[in-house]
């Protein structure tokens, strides 16, 4: 038997004020759009802001449904919208922020597994890494230089 050791590296910012100005603006848009989340069941609100290479910013918030799991996470709402409206644009950066109606969220909230897979599809398609910044309501912000840090064994079309 052999073992594989996988190491990932993240940058950690003490708060959103430490982010580069363009990323701070992107995160502020993610924070603002999370207020528009439709989350009557989980009461957990997530906002995502995507910066494209054409200079456009695409936003998304989670949208729940009583017919669970028919809803969509903020990241997939934004990434699918970007893919539909700007199919040839590269996704350069994604900012994600989450909050709860029940308690303060001070830990960074990464994309769920389904969102990671969806983001990986676009990163693979564009053959260019996507920077991912994520935070809770307040507190530290994590930066991943690529989706591969969050999903080192990505499933893509090469397996089909």
Name the binding residues for Zn(2+).
Answer: 73, 112, 115
DSSP 41: T
Rg (Cα) of the chain, in Å, rounded?
15
Residue 112 and residue 128: Cα distance in Å, rounded? 21
Q: Which residues carry a binding-site annotation for substrate?
A: 62-68
Strand order in the sheet with 44-52: 11-13, 141-144, 131-135, 91-100, 44-52, 57-61
Cα atoms found within 13 Å of the Cα of residue 117, Cβ hemisphere only: 6
For the question of residue 75 being annotated catalytic, the response is yes
**In terms of DSSP bridges, do strands 91-100 and 57-61 run parallel, antiparallel, or are they unpaired?**
unpaired
Q: Catalytic pick from 75, 121, 131, 137? A: 75
Q: Which residues carry a binding-site annotation?
A: 62-68, 73, 112, 115
Residue 65 and residue 147: Cα distance in Å, rounded? 27
Residue 158 and residue 160: Cα distance in Å, rounded? 6
Residue positions annotated with a catalytic role: 75
């Amino acid at each position: 038997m052999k073992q594989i050791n996988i190491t990932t590296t993240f940058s950690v910012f003490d708060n959103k004020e430490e982010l580069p100005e363009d990323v701070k603006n992107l995160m502020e848009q993610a924070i603002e759009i999370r207020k528009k989340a439709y989350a009557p069941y989980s009461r957990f609100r997530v906002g995502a802001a995507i910066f494209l290479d054409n200079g456009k910013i695409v936003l998304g918030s989670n949208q729940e449904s009583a017919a669970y799991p028919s809803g969509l996470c903020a990241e997939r709402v934004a990434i699918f919208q970007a893919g539909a409206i700007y199919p040839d644009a590269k996704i350069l950066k994604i900012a994600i922020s989450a909050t709860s109606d029940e308690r303060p969220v001070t830990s960074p909230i990464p994309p769920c597994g389904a969102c990671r897979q969806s983001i990986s599809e676009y990163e693979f398609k564009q053959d260019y890494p996507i920077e991912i910044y994520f935070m809770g309501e307040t507190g530290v912000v994590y930066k991943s230089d690529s989706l591969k840090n969050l999903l080192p064994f990505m499933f893509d079309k090469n397996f089909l």
